[in-house]
Amino acid sequence: MTTTEDRKLSHINIVSKGGVEPAGSTLLEYVRLVHNPAPEHNLDEVDLHIDFCGHELAAPIVITGMTGGHPATRDINAALAKVAGKYSIGLGVGSQRAGIENPDLAYTFSVVREEAPNAFIIANLGAAQLSRGYGVEEALRAIEMIKANAIAIHLNIGQELFQDEGDNSFSNVIAKIEELVEELPVPIVVKEVGTGLSKEAIARLEAVGVKCFDIAGYGGTNWIKVEALRSRTVNRGRALHEPGSLAELWGNPTAVAVVEARSVSQSSYILGSGGLRDGLDIAKVIALGANAGGLAAPALRALSQGAEGLDRYMADIIYQLKAAVFMTGGTRVSDLWRAPLLVWGRLREELELRGVDIRSYLNYQRLLPLMWRSGGRGVQGT
Ligand SMILES: Cc1cc2nc3c(=O)[nH]c(=O)nc-3n(C[C@H](O)[C@H](O)[C@H](O)COP(=O)(O)O)c2cc1C
């Protein structure tokens, strides 16, 4: 058995090496934004600012929670925070359990606020910890540790089931989340970690007051796979619980999860994430109905080329996203919701089997948040 602290480091090492994606995809390859060859603006009129969970971001991007809790992770968080501050995008930290259990490690998290005094920063705790007794007090400590603007609660049942030290206790989690919604001074973001939220989960959580979701779908970093790889290295080649094809095939693909989320929730903030790798992927999840796109592992891998590599990567994806908005004829991120969009093949089939009529979704439902924000008077929005 390893400590929480050591586990944090081995996660970073395994993900940095690559090969942690599952066999299937996000299904974003079944989405195409129609090219508009005659946009009636200039590129410098394209403005990527959005509101996300009540905070302004200069581009609709969040680097989602990854790390902290081992001395070696301090520099990673510092570098991620620098880039988040520079581009005014969002940044999550990894689970703060290690910093709560051992306050001597809190500095590995709090460095993000030092490096990015004005960025939108998201604290992080696990649902399993809530089930085991964490509550308002621990959440307040996590928020205070990094002066967070929001707190993410991660639902990571797949990961827990295949982690040697995993905790399978999830009872009482929704009631705990409801308590946090009522008591905490910042918004709660409920997130998955790469197996995807479902419309049933979103509806259940929205009913207890959650307004921000990170769907973290299948197709990117896969935590069943990561934990199986880790377990094999400590158990001489055989994982404590071998996952079989669950490591390759289990999860709600990102594209499906975004549409499901928006189909049941008009007014919530939705972060589309899980397997997004460039600006076009981000444009696609937004066009499907998300407010913004999130990514984790690509930022870590870009950082392997140093702070400059991460900076270049971020500048590239922001420019790609801007290009996608411009080449669909828009000037605002929300114009992607109105852009002609094609959805076909397996994505369309899966959505129809999940009860989403894709035609009415694309023509009407995905515009509902714009109508909602403008008080039902039209579709001029954010
Ligand atoms: C090294 C690493 C550590 C992570 N640790 C956490 C964590 O502590 N808490 C959490 O909510 N998500 C964690 N995640 C999950 C990410 O936030 C994200 O949901 C997931 O990796 C899918 O996105 P991706 O395909 O862009 O990597 C971690 C991801 C990575 C790559």
Is residue 382, in this structure, part of any structural domain at all? no
Angle ∠(256,259,261) on CA atoms, nearest 5: 105
- Structural domain includes residue 380: no
pTM score: 0.96
Beta bridge partners of 123: 151
Res. 253 pLDDT band, cuts 50 70 90: very high
Question: Does some domain include residue 379?
Answer: no
In tens, the pLDDT along 105-149 reads: 999 999 999 999 999 999 999 999 999 999 999 999 999 999 999
pLDDT cut 70: percent of the chain above it:
97
- Does residue 381 sit within a domain? no
70 lines ligand 1 (CB under 6 A): no
Q: Best substitution site from 10, 108, 193 to test ligand 1's pocket, by max atoms within 8 Å of Cβ?
A: 193
Residues in contact with 200: Cβ distance below 8 Å, sequence separation at least 6, in sequence order? none
| Ligand 1 site, residue 154, Cβ cutoff 6 A | yes
18 CA distance to ligand 1 middle (Å): 13
Owning domain of residue 92: 4-373
In a domain, 177, yes or no: yes
In a domain, residue 110? The reply is yes
Per-residue pLDDT at 367: 86
d(CA 36, CA 55): 31
Whether ligand 1 lies within 6 angstroms of the CB of 97 is answered as: no
DSSP string across 276-335 = --SHHHHHHHHHTT-SEEEESHHHHHHHTTHHHHHHHHHHHHHHHHHHHHHHTT-SBGGG
The residue whose CB lies within 8 Å of the most ligand 1 atoms, and thus the one to mutate among 64, 80, 301, is: 64
Question: What distance in angstroms lies between residue 224's CA and the mean position of ligand 1's atoms?
Answer: 12
Q: How far is the CA of 26 from the centre of ligand 1 (A)?
A: 16
Question: Does ligand 1 have an atom closer than 6 angstroms to the CB of 196?
Answer: no
Name the pLDDT band for 378 (thresholds 50, 70, 90): very low
Tell me the CA–centroid distance for residue 364 and ligand 1, in Å.
Answer: 32
Task: Indicate which atom in ligand 1 lies nearest the CA of residue 276.
Answer: 26
Q: CB of 272 closer than 6 A to ligand 1? A: no
Is residue 379 very low, low, confident or very high in pLDDT (cuts 50, 70, 90)?
Answer: very low
Confidence of residue 380 (pLDDT cuts 50, 70, 90): very low
Per-residue pLDDT tens for 18-63?
899 999 999 999 999 999 999 999 999 999 999 999 999 999 999 9
Q: Where are the beta strands (DSSP E) in the chain?
A: 31-33, 50-52, 55-57, 61-63, 90-92, 120-126, 150-154, 188-191, 212-214, 269-273, 292-295, 341-343
> Domain total for the chain?
1
Q: Is 378 a member of any domain? A: no
- The CATH number that applies at residue 192 is 3.20.20.70
